[in-house]
Structure 1
Amino acid sequence: MNIALLANPTAGKGRRAALLPAIKERLGAHVTVLGADSAAAARELAGRAVADGCDALVAMGGDGTVHLGLQAVAGTGTAFGIVPAGTGNDFAVRLGLPTEPLAAADAVAGALAAGATRDVDLARVRGEDGTSAWFGAVLAAGFDAFVNERANRMRWPKGAQRYNRAIVEELVALKPRQYTMRLDGAESRFASVLVAVGNTESYGGGFRIAAGADPTDGLLDVVVAEPLGRLALMGLRPKALKGTHIHDPRVSTYRAKVVELDAAGVTAYADGERICPLPVTIACVPGALKLLQQ
């Protein structure tokens, strides 16, 4: 087996970097570590490894590293393994994979030995600006996307405090946006502060925003909250950890194969990564991922 290992040593605040030699040993003798100093370089190396015919690509890191790996393997038939080593690991958790890195590496090695893969849906998003990207977890196009966008512009503070500051500042600036949405061609227009499209259930380290989303049903789950005030929006957050927010009368849920979404001044984020400004078209692609899982 020729295995390419895409590893992010900074994932999980660097706590897992020392495990890399043990992970490599567990995966087998023919493992090439793809070391890169930027996301763009990592994406290029992963794509090249798949194009050169590696038997499997394994991503060791958080949702961001997995996201980069998906760009390389989606729709190719190349097997994909995940060794969760980030902070949230939402995609891996919702797929039922081991969350402890060494156990996850053993599970990947076992699936490789058995030739066991599981077909998993992915979502493909295309922007009017020509952007094309795959995602496995959730696309945010409301409040959470604005928080990410603001946090990315900040230079201070560092770490989690930057994200917390971005939340506060976005709450101060909170206002409904006017959206146009088409679900399998059926159009609706509405005002909202929170819009999310899920292939799997959660984002942000366990917020089950698209509770009930099944990555094997060929459908995307769409969650829309009506215009809410600051206190009401924050009141939904603890419910979203349990997935019970979808029963709130101010929250609507839908399912569709293709979601078209437009709103002025909104930038979409998926798997926690910046994608592109709206408008976007998001399509569920059944079985686009060959996941190494027994």
Structure 2
Amino acid sequence: MLAVTADDHRSAAPAVPDGPVAVLANPTAGRGRHRGLLPRLLDRLGSAGRPVRLLEARSAEEAEAVCHEAVTEGIGALVSVGGDGTVHRALQAVAGTTVPFGPVPAGTGNDFALDTGFPADPLAAADVIAAALLEGRTSPVDLGRMTGADGTVRWYGAVLAAGFDAIVNERANRMRWPRGPRRYDLAILVELARLRPRRYTLRLDGVSHELDAVLVAVGNGACYGGRMRICPAADLTDGLLDVVVGGRFDRRTLLRVKPRIYAGTHVEHPLVRSFRARTVELSAEGITTYADGERALDLPVTITAVPGAVHLLR
């Protein structure tokens, strides 16, 4: 594995390393609707003429660990089959290295794969990845790197949520009943009843802002939650983070504005403010962030846009 420095990110894409293609597959992604496709996906990836190695993991933590191990052992590429959560685990291993990555969208939310130009159809995405492998072609895109108060570093590809959506996710993850999507729906109802603006401190490239807000998102990409365009102007290749803040919404206003996020028109609301920065320092009391839909770090965190931090097989 070769490390990539910040100065190297905008230079010519590195050659695709020799070695097998490691595949991280989540059979439960998208509620299992693509489970039967996996053998065909592996065949399509194998058409590039390289050995294909399926990584075995029984948990998200194991998935991340086996990806790190595969990169350390010298794989030629890493491919994820699943949604944004599977992408998130894989990115922790390939970010900042020359090991290229290909996301096959097979989850409920496939925001990173679709925002970076991969086909929505899993088989078509596998064909794109195989062709890139065969031709030795990669394309660099940015990632967000977050650093916690204790020095913990995590990477993300799409959006970091640090407001109402993160609070709902945290509530849903603590609940043991009901199971399935209804648990998330119940968590929304509970948190709507408790809705209140929180006081946030934002430092954007060193400039401080004190804000009362209900929604806070730091986007490397535009979408989260299954094509909700929370940061509609975000560009995965501009070396910047887009910060969208929804201010002192009451319940009625939040419920009116929330559907507009799918089209990205919520940013036109007078209570919504948008910013852009290379480095975002974000703090508030009692908030656990969610990145790519996955539980991430407690606030405060520092988020930095890292240009070309991952090389995509496309």
Is TM-score (shorter-chain normalized) higher than 0.5? yes
Report if the CA contact (8 A) 1:213-1:220 is conserved: yes
Alignment of 1:101-112 (within 5 A): 101-112=122-133
Detail structure 1 runs of 4+ shifted over 3 Å in the superposition: none
Q: Aligned to 1:8, which of 3, 26, 32?
A: 26
1:169 aligns with 2:187: no
2-structure distance, mates of 1:156, 1:116: 47
Corresponding position of 1:17: 35
Determine which of 243, 247, 259 is the counterpart of 1:222.
Answer: 243
SS of the counterpart of 2:274? strand
Structure 1 counterpart of 2:54, from 33, 49, 63: 33
1:205 correspondence with 2:226: yes
Equivalence for 2:313: 292
| 1:225, distance to aligned residue in structure 2 (A) | 1.0
Which residue of structure 1 aligns with residue 213 of structure 2?
192
Q: How many residues of Structure 1 are paired with residues of Structure 2 in the alignment?
A: 293
Write the distance in 2 (CA, Å) between the matches of 1:200 and 1:16: 25
The CA distance in 2 between the partners of 1:96 and 1:249, in whole Å, is 32
- Report the 3-state secondary structure (helix = DSSP H, G, I; strand = E; otherwise coil) of the residue aligned with 1:58: strand
Q: 1:130: how far off?
A: 3.0
Partner letter of residue 195 of structure 2?
Answer: L
Letter in 1 for 2:165: D
Which residue does the alignment assign to 1:142? 163
Aligned with residue 262 of structure 1, among 264, 283, 303: 283
Q: CA deviation at 1:131?
A: 2.2
Query: Partners in 2 of 1:246 and 1:119 — Cα distance?
Result: 28
TM-score (norm 2): 0.92
Choose which of 75, 80, 84 in structure 2 pairs with 1:59.
Answer: 80
- Secondary structure at the residue paired with 2:40? helix
Q: CA deviation at 1:17?
A: 1.2
Structure 2: 5+ residue stretches without partners: 1-18
Alignment match, 1:45: 66
In structure 2, give the amino acid aligned to 1:18: G
1:131 alignment partner, one of 141, 148, 152: 152
Of 78, 81, 96 in structure 1, the residue corresponding to residue 99 of structure 2 is: 78
One-letter amino acid of the structure 1 residue matched with residue 34 of structure 2? R
Given the two structures, how large is their TM-score scaled by the length of structure 1?
0.98
Distance 2:174 2:244 in 1: 27
Q: Is contact 1:131–1:275 with CA below 8 Å preserved after alignment?
A: no
Contact 1:117 1:290 in 2 (8 A): yes
Aligned-residue CA RMSD in angstroms?
A: 0.8
> In structure 1, how many angstroms separate the alpha carbons of the residues matched to 2:152 and 2:60?
16
- Aligned equivalent of 1:96: 117
Please report how far the alpha carbon of residue 249 of structure 1 lies from its aligned counterpart in structure 2 after TM superposition: 1.2
The aligned residue for residue 174 of structure 2 is 153
2 CA distance for matches of 1:91 and 1:234? 26
How far off is 1:136 after superposition? Answer: 0.2
Q: CA deviation at 1:156?
A: 1.1
SS in 2 for 1:91: helix
In structure 1, C-alpha distance between the alignment counterparts of 2:247 and 2:61, rounded to whole Å: 37
Secondary structure class of the residue paired with 2:225: coil
Which string of whole-angstrom CA distances, capped at 9 and with x for unpartnered residues, describes residues 250-291 of structure 1? 100000000000000111110011112100000000000101
Q: Which runs of 5+ in 1 are unaligned?
A: none
AA of the residue aligned to 2:312: L
